[in-house]
Amino acid sequence: MGAVVSNGMDEKSGEPTLDEFLRQLQAEMDIADKIPDKEERGQRQWQIEAAMQEAITFSNRWKHVMKLGRDPLKMVEAIADEEMAAARRSHTPAASAVGSCNKCSALIEGGLDFCPSCGHYFE
C-alpha cells in the first residue's frame, strides 16, 4: 500500500488520498466544534489539529523526497529493515535479558519493572 499525495481517489488502488484525509479531518473539526463540554471539545480539536499538521508535514516531506528522485517507500522499507535487524541483535537473551517473568516466562530486559509481554508488574 503506497501513500498517495495527489487529489482524488488513487486510480490504481481505489484508496483515499491525503487530500481526502485532510478533508475528513476538517469535517471532524466541524463536528468537534459542537461538543458541549469545553475541555473535551478542546482536547478533540487539539487531536485533530495535530493530525492535520502531521499529514501536511508528511505531504511536504514526500514531495521533497520525490523531487530528489528517490522513492519514499523504498527509503522507509530500508530504515525499517535496518531497525528490525538492530532490534534482533539487541534482543538476544545474552545481550538484553536479565531475567524472565514469573507469570508468563517471557525474557525481561534490564531496568524494566514490568513484563512487556503480559504486563505483570514486579515488586
Instruction: Specify burial of residue 108 (Cβ count, 10 A radius: 0-12, 13-18, 19+).
Output: buried
Q: What does pTM read for this prediction?
A: 0.51
In the chain, the N- to C-terminal Cα span, in Å, equals: 44
pLDDT at 95: 42
Q: How far is Cα 74 from Cα 10, in angstroms, rounded to an integer?
A: 19
pLDDT at 123: 67
pLDDT at 78: 83
Enumerate the domain spans of the chain.
Answer: 1-90, 94-123
pLDDT per residue, tens digit, the chain (123 aa), is: 444 445 444 556 678 888 999 999 999 999 999 999 999 999 999 999 999 999 999 889 888 888 988 888 888 888 888 888 877 766 554 444 567 788 888 877 777 777 878 887 776
